[in-house]
Amino acid sequence: MKFLPYFLASLLFCASTSVMAVTYKLPANGSNIVGEVLVAEVPQGNVSLEHIAALYQMGFSNMLEANPNVDPYSPKPGQKLLIPQRLILPDTKREGIIINSAEMRLYYYHDNVVEVLPIGIGQLGKDTPVNWVTKVHRKRANPTWTPTASTRAEYAARGEFLPTVVPAGKDNPMGLFALYVGRLYAIHGTNAEFGIGLRVSHGCIRLRHDDIEYLFNVVPVGTRVEFINEPVKVSSEPDGALYIEVHQPLSTSEEQINSEDYSPLTFNDKVKEFLLRDDIDPAILQQELNDRSGIPVLLNPIEF
């Protein structure tokens, strides 16, 4: 299967599965790859891919990328699913919080581990920031929400009339906890957890309730926060293995969103240099650039 080692786990879904960050010990040998891909079986009953994603601490987009032939709303009982918990760490400073919009994941580095949580991000035209380094300025439990005039007008156009200040509580779109990063943005909860792994916010970062409560309790004020947008990650491993992880890039126009074609990929300078290596199998590379599975794929299975 795409030349990567799968950890075959015959896992069945159960309602008691706890929702916690997926925690990885940072590699000590210079590697950039952590985790394993799980294989799980869709249970009997009426479940959606979003329900399954939540059980395994994935976002909806992560599951869609890894399982493109699965009905996202009515997966067939007994059908095998890939749970993409193997990943290449972003090519960034491994400190504090890293938010990669393209893969819709938040990375929290501390105490020689990295915890990875799925997120929802900004809609087209209300995009989550990129190429920005800031910090957690303050935290607040039970935040209120002060929608802008344009946001109130947007809601009113569809028959929903917002007050000037939305009071704290379970119906607040900011959820029950918030970490404020700069003047306009926050990492916060939500009252609509189906949006995790989708572009649903007005630019802020959304997390499931248990995830934001956890972050609220463990992330100190002053923690470094970096926003990036890298759909393609690569790694040259210590043993000579070369890997690529490709995610669907964020659409930049309504035309791209409505098109049946994939959005075009862009590569930063480091990725461009990596892809020019003559020990990469071009057929494998092209296949993954087409598939965009969101899972690390080995590019030189013979040479190394």
Query: 14, 51, 188, 247: which is the annotated catalytic residue?
Result: 188
Please, which residues have CB within 8 angstroms of residue 69's CB and are 6 or more apart in sequence?
A: none
In the predicted structure, residue 169 carries a pLDDT above the cut 90: no
Annotated catalytic residue within 14, 137, 204, 209: 204
Contacts of 128 (CB under 8 A, 6+ apart): 99, 101, 121, 122, 185, 201, 203, 204, 205, 227
SS3 193: helix
Q: ∠87-106-132 over CA atoms, to 5°? A: 115
Instruction: Please list the alpha-helical segments (H only) found in 172-242.
Output: 209-218
The average pLDDT across 121-139 equals: 89
pLDDT score of 19: 46
CB 250 within 8 A of CB 61: no
Q: Residues 248-259: what's their mean pLDDT?
A: 72
CATH number for the region 6-88 comes to 3.10.350.10
CA distance 89 to 86: 10
Tell me which fold the domain 96-228 belongs to.
Answer: L,D-transpeptidase catalytic domain-like (2.40.440)
Q: Which of 129, 125, 135 is nearest to 101 (CA)?
A: 129
pLDDT digits (tens, 9 = 90+) for 31-86: 999 999 999 999 888 899 999 999 999 999 999 999 999 999 999 999 999 999 99
| pLDDT band, very low/low/confident/very high, at 158 (cuts 50, 70, 90) | confident
* 14 annotated active-site: no
Distances (CA, A) of 196 to 122, 189, 207, 212, 301: 11, 10, 6, 12, 34
20 pLDDT higher than 70 = no
Higher-confidence position of 195 and 82:
82
Q: Which of 276, 34, 264 is nearest to 285 (CA)?
A: 276
Beta strands 186-188 and 177-180 are antiparallel
Please answer whether residues 160 and 176 qualify as being in contact, where contact means their C-beta atoms are separated by less than 8 angstroms.
no
Annotated domain spans of the chain: 6-88, 96-228, 232-298
Quickly state the pLDDT bin for 255 (edges 50, 70, 90).
low
Task: With a cut of 70, say whether residue 9 has pLDDT above it.
Answer: no
pLDDT band for position 4 (cuts 50, 70, 90): very low
- Please say if 204 is a catalytic residue: yes
Residue 5 has pLDDT above 60, yes or no: no
Per-residue pLDDT at 184? 85
Q: Tokens 């990063």 belong to which residue?
A: 181
Beta bridge partners of 24: 114
